[in-house]
Copies of this chain bind each other. A is one copy, B any other.
Amino acid sequence: MSLPHAILTALLEKPSSGIELTRRFDKSIGYFWSATHQQIYRDLGKLERDGLIRALPTDQPTRGQKKEYEVLPEGRAELARWTAESQDPKALRDPLAVRIRAAAVVGTEGLVADLQRHFDLHQRQLETYQEIERRDFPADTEALDDRLRHLVLRAGIDMETFWTNWLTQVLEELGQEPPGEAPQAPEASSEGDSSA
């Protein structure tokens, strides 16, 4: 249910073609709702058929030719309706948690390397978000819409912070250090549990 509305939001911020939307998803909204170009084209077609957006008039043939879309009043109304609608929070759904639980049963063989990889990826994503925060949200007095966008970014920052902290704990539990500093700790079971 979210992708069409994410597209409407992006198109309201700036009318775009499918490929432009795809790129903008890759670098802003997509941090919280990723989408491939196939999904985007599919939903653009559906939004157009439903009369929520329209292609800006051009005489060009369609295939292979850029097609810009803009949001119609019906689209804005639908987005406002959806935004105000009551929705249940989505249940937590985490493959890594499943894996750790599986490892509790079949052993942790081969798990550590991938956990360290995850740690690195989350740390890099955290730095990316912090970079964006520095660049786009410098001052503290902003318009409400920018403050809301900032809060969404903060959610991403807090989420990645959570992951790096949690993975650090898991790796410590498995006798490993998260960064690249510690080489091979030869099977040191960490008994002293530090607070998180």
Q: Which one of A50-58, A166-174, A176-184 contacts B?
A: A166-174
User: Are A104 and B145 in touch, CB under 8 angstroms?
Assistant: yes
Given A32-B92, A156-B92: A98 touches B6 (CB 8 Å cut-off) = yes
Number of copies: 2
Residue among A79, A106, A114 with max Cβ neighbours from chain B (10 Å): A106
* Chain A stretch 134-179: residues in CB contact (< 8 A) with chain B: 140-141, 143-149, 151-152, 154-156, 158-159, 162-163, 165-166, 169-170, 173
Hey, which chain B residues are within 8 Å of A61, CB to CB? none
Hey, which chain B residues are within 8 Å of A91, CB to CB? 34
User: Are B162 and A159 in touch, CB under 8 angstroms?
Assistant: yes
User: Are A13 and B79 in touch, CB under 8 angstroms?
Assistant: no
* Interface flags, A21-57, vs B, CB<8A=1, else 0: 0001000110111100000000000000000000000
User: Are B194 and A98 in touch, CB under 8 angstroms?
Assistant: no
Hey, which chain B residues are within 8 Å of A121, CB to CB? 88-89
Subset of 26 A-B contacts with CB under 8 Å: A2-B95, A2-B98, A28-B196, A29-B101, A31-B92, A32-B92, A32-B93, A32-B97, A33-B95, A33-B97, A79-B105, A82-B99, A84-B110, A84-B111, A85-B110, A86-B114, A89-B96, A89-B121, A92-B159, A104-B146, A108-B148, A141-B191, A145-B192, A146-B194, A148-B170, A158-B165
Question: Which residues of A approach B to under 8 Å, CB–CB?
Answer: 1-2, 5-6, 8-10, 12-14, 24, 28-29, 31-34, 76, 79-80, 82-111, 113-114, 117-118, 121-122, 140-141, 143-149, 151-152, 154-156, 158-159, 162-163, 165-166, 169-170, 173, 188, 190-194, 196
